[in-house]
Amino acid sequence: MSPDEDDDQLLERLRQVAAEADAVPENVLAAARAAFTMRDTDLELARLVADSAEAGFEPVRSGAVAARLLAFDGGGVQVDLDVEVAGGRTVLIGHVSGADACVLERGDGSRQLVPLDELGRFLVGGVRPGPLRLRCRGPAGRTVATSWVTV
């Protein structure tokens, strides 16, 4: 047997062991299939234009709070989002302009209203980990969503 065939065989064996020891969980496969139900061709995208986690910033920290600052822009809507994690709890603090109502949308499609004050500011506590985005009613009633962020 050639060394290449030996390698192919060993890799095949590893593939079988991986299927046993570290298979893709069923909920991960289900979430992948369900992602398509989030498709909405009328949605306009407010793209991520700044992310403190990617810009090579030093982590923003005060005491035991770790914060990540994000900015989105698109479809006439701007969102500044501050993701703060303290003691294992996640809080979203932000500001929206160009929109008069927003919901927080999770990867599984669930939504919760995000109350905006008269200046467009909001605070949402007790956010569970995972992907989320802000979905807002923008200029002329258009629906604008930020790109996905995993917290």
Kindly list the residues in this chain that would bind another protein in the complex (CB under 8 A): 3, 7, 10-11, 13-22, 24-25, 27-29, 31-33, 35-36, 38-39, 41, 45, 53-54, 59, 61, 64-66, 68, 85-88, 107, 129-131, 145, 147-148, 150-151
- Torsion sign, CA atoms 90, 93, 98, 102: positive
**Least CB distance from residue 45 to another protein, whole Å?**
7
Cβ proximity to another protein, 17 vs 49, nearer residue: 17
Cβ proximity to another protein, 32 vs 123, nearer residue: 32
**Least CB distance from residue 77 to another protein, whole Å?**
15
**Residue type (1 letter), 112:** Q
Q: Is 28 helix (H, G, I), strand (E, B) or coil?
A: helix
Cβ proximity to another protein, 3 vs 141, nearer residue: 3
User: How many angstroms separate the CA atoms of 14 and 106, rounded?
Assistant: 35
Q: Is 150 helix (H, G, I), strand (E, B) or coil?
A: strand
**Least CB distance from residue 86 to another protein, whole Å?**
7
Helix (H) or strand (E) holding 82: strand 77-86
Cβ proximity to another protein, 111 vs 121, nearer residue: 111
List Cα–Cα distances, 148 to 24, 105, 118, 130, in angstroms.
22, 9, 26, 10
